A and B are shown apart, each in its own frame.
Chain A
Amino acid sequence: MTKAKLRPNAGDLLLMVGTAKGAFLFSSDRSREKFAMTGPHFPGQSVWSAAFIGNGAARILIGNKSEHWGAMVSRSDDFGATWNDAIEGNVKFPSGSGVALNAIWALEAATSLGDDAVLAGVDPAALFRSEDRGETFRLNEALFNHPDRQRWNPGFGGLCLHSILVHPENPKRMYAAISSGGIYRTEDGGDSWATCVNGLRVHPDVPGATLCPHKLRFDAENPARMYLQNHPGVYRTDNEGRSWVTIENGLPSDFGFPMVAHPRRGETIYTFPLTADADRVPPGGIPRVWRSRDAGGSWQPLGKGLPERDGYFTVLRDAFSADSLDPAGLYFGTRGGQLYGSNDEGESWRAIAEFLPPILCVKTATVS
């Protein structure tokens, strides 16, 4: 175990990496040339989600799961030197609902909803909200009781709510994406939810089958525009999810898990294609990040520093993120335990860590 305490300075990068066997924290100065690491935190537990609260005293939130003792959100106010586990479970479905928490798939600091607001997406699919910086959470009843719920159908990864987007200018407008369930939009801060999947195709492509969005992201400059890696297909909406158009032309495959948007430059996005639903490895064993600079109109492979052959790893939906520095940094983790990073917007890559457990999530933050 690496016990050295992380001591990031203001402006440094923090990487929060969740794996099948614990969390690992990395920090670097803005050059992002050298990284310090601590971990594993929560050894033996799977870590599906993480978030950083930068306003006020810095706080790291981790969504961990013990196969024996259940899942919860733990927090650290000293960059992982110590952790505060909730005495009682802090993400719980109401007693009598008949539903029990399986895992916490998404954690998002949502300061536009309030200084201390945090949102959590979980399996089985539901949205929770905290008003106390991640210490306690309350179920969003409207989405939980949505009539579509009876049609949601667990996929291979479970029935997870994995993507939570809060409109940057109108926080009453939010989006939640559920695999295998669909995409839902609220215009009233979560009191009601409407499906917004017009134009998306389902897998298998038969009537009644369930939509399966894999990862949803805002465009950096135009929040009416979003990008989606769907189970079948890559999509863009220009009208707040009211309709979707396919943008997969030029990619080697329409299948994959992550979708990442550049932190500042609109129309620039990144994805990591896999061969097919039934063959979840990079096409030809040549792993590549694919970038579009025109909102999906065309795509370019980025592979300098990545394996040129025999690269048969998978990148999961929450295991690819961008930082907010300039030039933007990009980071992805693999199910083989490699953590790759780029400090030049994807032009070149190098391994930050090579022998971690299977990586489930990668989140970034700039320390304030």
Chain B
Amino acid sequence: MRVHIPSALRKWTGGRDVIALEPGADERLTAAEVIAAVAQEFPGIRDRVLDEQGALRRHVNIFIDGENARFLGELDAQVGRDSDIWIHPSLSGGGQAAQTAK
């Protein structure tokens, strides 16, 4: 499987845009396990994709072969051995972030 890294996180993968993982023939990985596998080699990835309780950050999406993992069980979503996984910042905007009163 191939994990596609967004440009904003390539600082933490030595500039690599795709990380190849090769699970065993009988090994089934979840999205969480894919992130953990990438983070094992590139530790800067984990805390940027997941919060400290292990939840997918609100404005980060994971796509598995073109499907948003949020609709496939989120971090429990199953990933095929030949899947393409994309970590992608949400296309969000126009909100009140950092606009609230201090």
Within the complex, the shortest CB–CB distance from A229 to chain B, in Å, comes to 12
In Å, the complex CA distance between A189 and B51 comes to 29
Find out whether the CB atom of A70 lies under 8 angstroms from the CB atom of B101. Answer: no
Find out whether the CB atom of A88 lies under 8 angstroms from the CB atom of B47. Answer: yes
- B73-87: which have CB < 8 Å to A? none
Find out whether the CB atom of B101 lies under 8 angstroms from the CB atom of A257. Answer: yes
Q: Mark A55-87, 1 if CB is under 8 A from B, else 0.
A: 000000000011111101000000000000101
Within the complex, the shortest CB–CB distance from B62 to chain A, in Å, comes to 13
A280 close to chain B: CB less than 8 A: yes
Within the complex, the shortest CB–CB distance from A219 to chain B, in Å, comes to 23
Within the complex, the shortest CB–CB distance from A209 to chain B, in Å, comes to 18
In Å, the complex CA distance between A97 and B44 comes to 22
Find out whether the CB atom of A100 lies under 8 angstroms from the CB atom of B43. Answer: no
- B43-60: which have CB < 8 Å to A? 43-44, 46-49, 51-55, 57, 59-60
Find out whether the CB atom of B100 lies under 8 angstroms from the CB atom of A69. Answer: no
Q: Mark B81-102, 1 if CB is under 8 A from A, else 0.
A: 0000000011010000111111
Name the A residues within 8 Å of B60 (CB-CB): 68-69
Within the complex, the shortest CB–CB distance from B48 to chain A, in Å, comes to 4
Find out whether the CB atom of A358 lies under 8 angstroms from the CB atom of B53. Answer: no
Give the residue name and chain of the A residue nearest to B95 (CB): A67
Number of A interface residues in the complex (CB < 8 A): 43
B32 close to chain A: CB less than 8 A: no
Find out whether the CB atom of A316 lies under 8 angstroms from the CB atom of B102. Answer: yes
Find out whether the CB atom of B52 lies under 8 angstroms from the CB atom of A92. Answer: yes
| One of A88, A100, A156, A316 near B51 (C-beta < 8 A) | A100
A105 close to chain B: CB less than 8 A: yes
Find out whether the CB atom of A67 lies under 8 angstroms from the CB atom of B59. Answer: yes
Give the residue name and chain of the A residue nearest to B53 (CB): A100
**Chain B, interface SS category:** loop
Within the complex, the shortest CB–CB distance from A259 to chain B, in Å, comes to 13
Within the complex, the shortest CB–CB distance from A172 to chain B, in Å, comes to 29
Give the residue name and chain of the A residue nearest to B92 (CB): A67
Number of B interface residues in the complex (CB < 8 A): 27
Find out whether the CB atom of A92 lies under 8 angstroms from the CB atom of B102. Answer: no
Find out whether the CB atom of A162 lies under 8 angstroms from the CB atom of B55. Answer: no
- B6-60: which have CB < 8 Å to A? 8-9, 11-12, 43-44, 46-49, 51-55, 57, 59-60
A2 close to chain B: CB less than 8 A: no
Name the B residues within 8 Å of A72 (CB-CB): 47
- Identify which of B44, B47, B49, B55 gathers the most chain A CB atoms within 10 Å of its CB: B47
| One of B12, B52, B89, B102 near A89 (C-beta < 8 A) | B52
- Identify which of A48, A72, A94, A100 gathers the most chain B CB atoms within 10 Å of its CB: A100
Name the A residues within 8 Å of B98 (CB-CB): 20-21, 46, 48, 65, 358, 360
Name the B residues within 8 Å of A87 (CB-CB): 12, 43-44
A150 close to chain B: CB less than 8 A: no
Find out whether the CB atom of B44 lies under 8 angstroms from the CB atom of A88. Answer: yes
Given A48-B102, A98-B53, A280-B101, 8 further pairs, Cβ under 8 A: A20-B97, A69-B89, A88-B43, A88-B47, A99-B53, A156-B100, A316-B102, A319-B102
Binding site for B on A (CB under 8 A): 20-21, 46, 48, 65-70, 72, 85, 87-89, 92-101, 105, 155-158, 160, 162, 257, 280, 314, 316-319, 335, 358, 360-361
Query: Could you give 18 example pairs across A and B, Cβ below 8 Å?
Result: A20-B98, A65-B98, A66-B48, A67-B59, A69-B8, A69-B57, A69-B60, A70-B51, A87-B12, A87-B43, A88-B43, A88-B44, A96-B53, A100-B55, A101-B52, A105-B102, A155-B101, A157-B101
